[in-house]
């Protein structure tokens, strides 16, 4: 089931819902457990409704080349050289005095 050009999102969502409900009813009529069919139906509806949103986000995101990624990693590593240890990595004299 594809999103049709020019179709409102609400209309498409209603078509998806009707299609998936019909598919679920057929599965239940064939003897599949209702709980499993309903769970699968909700997952399929959610996936279909989120697909155009995820596609739009992915298509609008800037593309990163391997060279840009390597350069970014080098900048990150250079910045992190100046960052001290985190609090959960405490060591040194304070612990030496406890003995």
Please say if the pLDDT value at position 90 is more than 80: no
Q: Rounded to 5 degrees, what angle do the CA atoms 28, 41, 25 make?
A: 25
Radius of gyration of the chain from its Cα atoms, rounded to whole angstroms: 26
- Phi, psi dihedral angles at 8 (to 5 degrees): -70, 150
pLDDT top residue among 89 and 38? 38
- Find the length of the chain: 99
56-87: pLDDT as tens digits:
898 998 888 999 999 999 999 998 888 776 66
In the chain, the percentage of residues whose pLDDT exceeds 70 is: 85
Across 43-47, average pLDDT: 95
| Contacts for 56 with CB less than 8 Å, ≥ 6 apart | none
- Phi, psi dihedral angles at 65 (to 5 degrees): -85, 160
Please say if the pLDDT value at position 98 is more than 60: no
């Amino acid at each position: 089931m594809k999103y049709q050009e020019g179709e409102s999102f609400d209309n498409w969502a209603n078509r998806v819902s009707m299609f998936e409900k019909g598919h679920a009813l057929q599965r239940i009529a064939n003897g599949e457990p209702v709980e499993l069919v309903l769970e699968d139906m909700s997952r399929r509806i959610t996936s279909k409704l989120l697909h155009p949103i995820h596609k739009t986000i992915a298509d609008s995101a800037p593309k990163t080349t391997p060279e840009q990624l390597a350069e970014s990693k080098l900048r990150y590593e250079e910045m992190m050289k100046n960052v001290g240890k985190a609090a959960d990595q405490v060591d040194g004299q304070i612990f030496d005095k406890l003995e």
